Structure 1
Amino acid sequence: MKILVTGAKGFIGKNLVAELNNRKYTDIFEYGREKDFALLNDYCKDADFVFHLAGVNRPKDQSEFMDENYGFTSTLLETLKKHQNNCPVMISSSIQANIDNPYGLSKKAGEELLFEYSYQTGAKALVYRFPNVFGKWCKPNYNSAVATFCHNIAHDLPITVNDPSVLMNLIYIDDVIEELINGLNGNENKVGDFCEVPVTHSITLGEIVNLINSFKQSRKERSVPDMSDPFTKKLYSTYLSYLPRDNFSYDLNMNVDDRGSFTEFIKTPERGQVSVNISKPGITKGNHWHHTKNEKFLVVSGNGVIRFRKIDSDKIIEYFVSGDKLEVVDIPTGYTHNIENLGNTDMVTIMWANEFFDPEKPDTYYLEV
């Protein structure tokens, strides 16, 4: 299948082309304003499907709205008609097509042009009125408040929120691309005359800003957001894509002594805490028990033994562990336990606990195994 994508270097276009490549579509005609106009003629002659994503959002002069959003659409359709190519055509419109402003009027005109073209030629028309689209590769300070907020907060730049109570209707770029490829395969989500991305999110500007600020703070707190919420998960992925190139990493606080080190890695209220424990050769750590706090140990490097004893019993249980055979050992409540490095090198253990360490209520009681 030969696929023409106009606006291929734009936000949606770049994501679409990347995913088409992932799915092994090999004949993709990428057209943008930087390309020779003669190429458009060749592409329109051979295309089996057209994704018309080209357009302007913030021109220098408002007359460019109609010139680009309507004018180029007209040129595209006339070129297809010249070659008697009645392949399906998808066009990216906007929810602003119902608003009486230069941008909305230009989008509305492009829609009507495609519907008329479809009526005349029998070509299938897929018209998507997108709300605000967010995700990676969206240009900040252009047409997306989410992109601007993510970029500015990640780069310690000020943001402006005139009314935090404004409700935003948003769609995520991956959901957009999934729907466009469904349309390519004849499975578009059609509602009346228009097509829609079925997954949308409604949230206020103030809530968006609070979430993004919490993402930034989470690196200091060694926490991660609640990934069970679909919007939070998508917004967090978007935020990370705007991190400064020299700021992908962040330091952890290593608690070091002559026995080795203990470092908290990730803390979540819903799923507990993950830490990295390093034990020097011959070192035993632990010898304590818990009422309710429970843990999982996973030795990933080195060799050792984990010992348990029920606090009212003399019987000792041993599990020999090694980075050569990864296995998780549950640390049950009511058992005093320790872990000893039996090797000649540092032993590295990933430790999960079901709750944060609370110095006011540690639920940790010393008792030799």
Structure 2
Amino acid sequence: MKTVLVTGAHGFIGRNLVASLNRREDIEVMKIDSKHSLQELEEYAIKADFIYHLAGINRPDNTEEFMTGNLDYTQHLLNILSSNGKKTPILLSSSIQAEMDNPYGNSKRAAEEAVFAYGRNEEIRTFVFRLPNVFGKWSKPNYNSVVATWCYNISRDIPIKVNDPEAEVKLVYIDDVVESFIHVMDNSDVTKTSDYLDISRSFNVKLKELEASLASFKASRRTLVLSDLKNDFERYLYSTYLSYLQEDDFGYNLEMKHDNRGWLAEFVKSEHSGQVFISRTKPGITRGNHWHHTKVEKFLVIEGEAIVKFRMIEGEEIFEYPVNGSSLRVIDIPPGYTHSITNTGNTDVITLFWANELFNPDKPDTYYLEV
């Protein structure tokens, strides 16, 4: 069992790191945050086999607190280890601001140098990550993250301010940060090409593109059209956006189109992956009796009993596929076959449908013809 200390454990990165460490049976996690005393820090530090030093100050009331919260706290932790003869590997979460000549950057760079000195003096492994902008769940809005702030505001219809839409920001995703942090703890053969380690990957995005993506996520509840989530950044950004929804705003209603057959509702659409919709059909009712030149569909009855029928548009032979909600069976609808689905049971039939393209009223590719 390895004992791991995480300082700044209740911050954005700390919470995500602790959540991952807690899943492991070979790790015991000790957490330190601003509520803990220096005595508790000493007690935990002496017990630790590995230390993630994430605590720091970036929004103080006065500039002097930068050095107090970043350098002095780090030096105190290192002094605890040295004075107790501990040779504990330590990972410091720093910032690309350490490259800048400003009070915050100077304090982070000084903390880095203190960690490097500890490593040389004690001949122990140290790891320093200069992080760019990190995004993901649990980041505090209106603080240091443009993604967190914009996700929070856009999800609540609060205006955002974009000073330079063409400006580009470098982002890393929180799960990649956590994965990289844990990797250096688990692997004694981590090689460093410089004093600083990088997160496994990063994303460069213009502010106008970031705003457009977040706005599309907001609009998707109304239009039902999801953005293209085929690349990792868009998927991670969408997950991040949803994490900022208000707790009384997780749900939204779909439009149900009622008629004598039952009802039908669109669920989700994608310009790249088509659309999904759902229907409720009364006993004895038939839907369909049409065919498509190119459009294809999938039918899945999840409740009730039905029969799906096909006929080649130029043929006479009818093919039948009985389906029911007790034995899920997906039926592919190829082009060139007129098709229908009929409720053959005594209860309503619930059916999921997928089509490979969005419905275009100007070019519906749907032609009535009875099976």
TM > 0.5 between the two? yes
- Residue 349 of structure 1 aligns with an amino acid whose one-letter code is T
1:144 correspondence with 2:145: yes
Alpha-carbon distance, 1:26 to partner:
4.3
C-alpha separation in 1, matches of 2:56 and 2:335: 62
Hey, what does 2:30 align to over in structure 1?
A: 29
Q: Secondary structure at the match of 1:90?
A: strand
C-alpha separation in 1, matches of 2:193 and 2:13: 22
Hey, what does 1:324 align to over in structure 2?
A: 326
Q: Secondary structure at the match of 2:226?
A: coil
- Residue 13 of structure 1 aligns with an amino acid whose one-letter code is G
C-alpha separation in 2, matches of 1:223 and 1:190: 44
- From the superposition, tell whether residues 188 and 343 of structure 1 become closer, same or farther in structure 2 (CA, over 3 Å): farther
Equivalences for 1:90-105 in 2 at 5 Å? Answer: 90-105=91-106
C-alpha separation in 1, matches of 2:207 and 2:173: 16
Q: Secondary structure at the match of 1:245?
A: coil
Q: Secondary structure at the match of 1:199?
A: coil
C-alpha separation in 2, matches of 1:185 and 1:39: 26
Alpha-carbon distance, 1:24 to partner:
2.9
Hey, what does 2:65 align to over in structure 1?
A: 64
- Residue 204 of structure 1 aligns with an amino acid whose one-letter code is K
Contact persistence 1:190–1:196 (CA under 8 A): no
C-alpha separation in 1, matches of 2:29 and 2:144: 26
Equivalences for 1:38-77 in 2 at 5 Å? Answer: 38-77=39-78
Unaligned runs of 5+ in 2: none
C-alpha separation in 1, matches of 2:191 and 2:253: 45
C-alpha separation in 1, matches of 2:39 and 2:270: 56
Contact persistence 1:304–1:320 (CA under 8 A): yes
Hey, what does 1:334 align to over in structure 2?
A: 336
Q: Secondary structure at the match of 1:175?
A: helix
Alpha-carbon distance, 1:282 to partner:
1.1
Q: Secondary structure at the match of 2:149?
A: helix
Hey, what does 1:226 align to over in structure 2?
A: 228
C-alpha separation in 1, matches of 2:181 and 2:25: 16
Hey, what does 1:253 align to over in structure 2?
A: 255
C-alpha separation in 2, matches of 1:154 and 1:18: 25
C-alpha separation in 2, matches of 1:302 and 1:167: 53
1:179 correspondence with 2:143: no
Contact persistence 2:216–2:226 (CA under 8 A): no
Contact persistence 1:56–1:65 (CA under 8 A): yes
Unaligned runs of 5+ in 1: none
Alpha-carbon distance, 1:36 to partner:
2.8
Alpha-carbon distance, 1:356 to partner:
1.2
Q: Secondary structure at the match of 1:274?
A: strand
Alpha-carbon distance, 1:37 to partner:
2.3
Alpha-carbon distance, 1:190 to partner:
3.1
C-alpha separation in 2, matches of 1:164 and 1:56: 29
What RMSD over aligned residues (CA atoms) do the two structures have, in Å?
1.1
Q: Secondary structure at the match of 1:191?
A: coil
- Residue 217 of structure 1 aligns with an amino acid whose one-letter code is A
Match of 1:367 among 360, 366, 369: 369
C-alpha separation in 2, matches of 1:135 and 1:25: 26
Equivalences for 1:1-369 in 2 at 5 Å? Answer: 1-186=2-187, 188=190, 190-369=192-371
Alpha-carbon distance, 1:323 to partner:
0.8
Aligned sequence identity (%): 50
Contact persistence 1:289–1:335 (CA under 8 A): yes
C-alpha separation in 1, matches of 2:254 and 2:167: 37
Alpha-carbon distance, 1:189 to partner:
6.5
Q: Secondary structure at the match of 1:41?
A: helix
C-alpha separation in 2, matches of 1:88 and 1:225: 43
Contact persistence 1:5–1:52 (CA under 8 A): yes
- From the superposition, tell whether residues 252 and 311 of structure 1 become closer, same or farther in structure 2 (CA, over 3 Å): same
C-alpha separation in 2, matches of 1:320 and 1:86: 70
C-alpha separation in 1, matches of 2:230 and 2:193: 29
Contact persistence 2:22–2:28 (CA under 8 A): no
Contact persistence 2:267–2:277 (CA under 8 A): yes
| Runs of 4+ residues deviating >4 angstroms | none
Alpha-carbon distance, 1:21 to partner:
0.9
Alpha-carbon distance, 1:188 to partner:
4.5
- Residue 71 of structure 2 aligns with an amino acid whose one-letter code is Y
Q: Secondary structure at the match of 2:22?
A: helix
Contact persistence 2:176–2:201 (CA under 8 A): yes
Q: Once the two structures are superposed, what CA deviation does each residue of 1:296-345 show, in whole Å capped at 9, x if it has no partner?
A: 10111111100011111111100000111111111111111110011111
Contact persistence 2:50–2:88 (CA under 8 A): yes
Alpha-carbon distance, 1:161 to partner:
1.3
Alpha-carbon distance, 1:45 to partner:
1.1
Q: Secondary structure at the match of 1:261?
A: strand
Q: Secondary structure at the match of 1:3?
A: strand
C-alpha separation in 2, matches of 1:53 and 1:291: 59
Q: Secondary structure at the match of 2:225?
A: coil
TM-score, normalised to structure 2's length? 0.97
Contact persistence 1:179–1:189 (CA under 8 A): no
- Residue 174 of structure 2 aligns with an amino acid whose one-letter code is I
Alpha-carbon distance, 1:25 to partner:
4.5
Contact persistence 1:164–1:205 (CA under 8 A): yes
